[in-house]
């Protein structure tokens, strides 16, 4: 069996491997009676003892938005829509930060170039107060130039700031078989960029689960449903201070 990047790095370095990253409806109101025919309802249409049914409560409209732009790790690849860490985060945010909501604009297989190309539209559409960027993994796995990844992330941060949104940058790591120079440079660029741009930073999304094979789906690439609460709880301390 071919080992996944996760197993290689977990065995080789005891660290974490990287993944890639490759609607209450209401019954319609009855039509109004024709003019001149209005009359009190009859027992045949409204039973005299029928209990009234309260209208469903309206879903509160979020006044503030967290926009998540990521790859398959954030898109919830292989999971039910409600199971991914971003969906779990949205529930936590709604419970603990009334008035806030989460929009997941993650796309499986996304690169930083794709994120940089999409962010203006997502900002205009969602008008977020906070943007969480979880991208770069696919760049690294494809061996794209680090300068290109850095430039794309810089562009996303600048766009978010231009829309007056705070930024949380979520870093990634690569397995050691990409070589020490590229692997080290890839990991460092997230920390360096966060420091230089003075944005909130989470070094590695998968840190709580990367070394645990049982936390992954059969493809050994994507965290399973049981691992998602750990990812949510890992992100929360970095995100929560921005929600004020």
**SS3 per residue for the chain:** CCCCHHHHHHHHHCCCCCCCCCCCCCCCCCCCCCCCCCCCCCCCCCCCCCCCCCCCCCCCCCCEEEEEEECHHHHCCCCCCCCCHHHHHHHHHHHHCCCEEEEECCCCCCCHHHHHHHHHHHHHHHCCCEEEEECCHHHHHCCCCHHHHHHHHHHHHHHHHHCCCEEEEECCCCCHHHCHHHHHHHHHHHHHHHHHHCCEEECCCCCCCCCCHHHECCCCCCECHHHHHHHHHHHHHHHHHHCC
Answer yes or no: CATH 3.40.50.1110 is held by domain 5-18+61-242: yes
226-241: average pLDDT: 98
Identified catalytic residue from 71, 72, 87, 106: 72
Identified catalytic residue from 87, 129, 222, 234: 222
Is the pLDDT confidence value at 25 over 80?
no
The 10s digit of each residue's pLDDT in 52-107 is: 444 444 455 679 999 999 999 999 999 999 999 999 999 999 999 999 999 999 99
Identified catalytic residue from 82, 192, 213, 219: 219
Who has greater pLDDT, 174 or 13? 174
Q: What is the pLDDT of residue 54?
A: 45
Percentage, residues of the chain above pLDDT 70: 75
Q: Is 222 a residue of the active site?
A: yes
Predicted structure pTM score: 0.77
Q: Is 129 a residue of the active site?
A: no
Q: Is 72 a residue of the active site?
A: yes
119-133: average pLDDT: 98
Q: What is the pLDDT of residue 10?
A: 36
């Amino acid at each position: 069996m071919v080992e996944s990047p996760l197993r290689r790095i977990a065995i080789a370095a005891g660290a974490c491997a990287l993944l890639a990253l490759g609607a209450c409806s209401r019954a319609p109101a009855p039509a109004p009676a024709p003019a001149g025919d209005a009359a009190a309802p009859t027992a045949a249409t409204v039973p005299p003892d029928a209990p009234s049914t309260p209208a469903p409560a309206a879903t509160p409209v979020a006044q503030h938005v967290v926009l998540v732009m990521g790859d398959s790790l954030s898109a919830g690849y292989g999971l039910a829509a409600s199971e991914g860490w971003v969906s779990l985060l949205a529930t936590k945010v709604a419970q603990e930060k009334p008035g806030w909501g989460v929009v997941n604009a993650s796309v499986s297989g996304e690169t930083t170039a794709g994120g940089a190309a999409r962010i203006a539209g997502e900002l205009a559409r969602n008008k977020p107060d906070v943007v969480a960027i979880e991208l770069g993994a696919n760049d690294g796995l494809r061996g794209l130039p680090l300068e290109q990844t850095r430039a794309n992330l810089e562009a996303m941060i600048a766009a978010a700031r231009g829309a007056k949104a705070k930024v949380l940058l979520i870093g990634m790591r690569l397995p050691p078989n990409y070589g020490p120079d590229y692997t080290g440079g890839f990991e460092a660029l997230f920390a360096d960029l966060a420091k230089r741009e003075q944005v909130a930073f989470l070094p590695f999304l998968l840190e709580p689960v990367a070394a645990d094979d049982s936390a992954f789906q059969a493809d050994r690439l994507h965290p399973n449903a049981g691992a998602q609460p750990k990812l949510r709880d890992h992100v929360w301390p970095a995100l929560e201070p921005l929600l004020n």
